[in-house]
Amino acid sequence: MFEYKLEEKKSRFAVYYENDEIGEVSFVKTGEHLLIIDHTYVDPKWKGHSIGNELVQKVVDFAIANNRKIIPLCPFAKKVFERTPAYSAVYSK
């Protein structure tokens, strides 16, 4: 089972499997109402498990809880936003 952890001081969510870090998404807080997703990474041996999508979802949930919008500069995150209509409420283009 995957474990997702917010590391707010590092501005990232990390994902672990059996205590090994296997991926992350990092973001930058800009002002009081904006987040920028600048990087998403998943260990290549874990590709195809929707981990990247889950990491982006964690940032979306964080943005909603903190009344923020998101600019997805990371190419992967941008693709996820473009194909997920439910994210339009937090998408700042």
In this predicted model, what pLDDT tens digit does every residue of 22-40 receive, in sequence order?
999 999 999 999 999 999 9
| CA dihedral for 40, 63, 13, 18, sign (positive or negative) | negative
> Residue 93's pLDDT is what?
77
- Residue-wise burial string across 74-84, b where 16 or more C-beta atoms lie within 10 A, e elsewhere: bebbbebbeee
DSSP for residue 27: E
C-alpha angle with apex 89: 1 to 37, nearest 5 degrees? 55
C-alpha angle with apex 29: 23 to 33, nearest 5 degrees? 125
Own/partner contacts of 42-45, CB < 8 Å, gap of 24 or more, are: 42/15
> Residue 66's pLDDT is what?
96
The domain total for the chain is: 1
Host domain of residue 21: 2-89
Task: Say what the pTM is.
Answer: 0.95
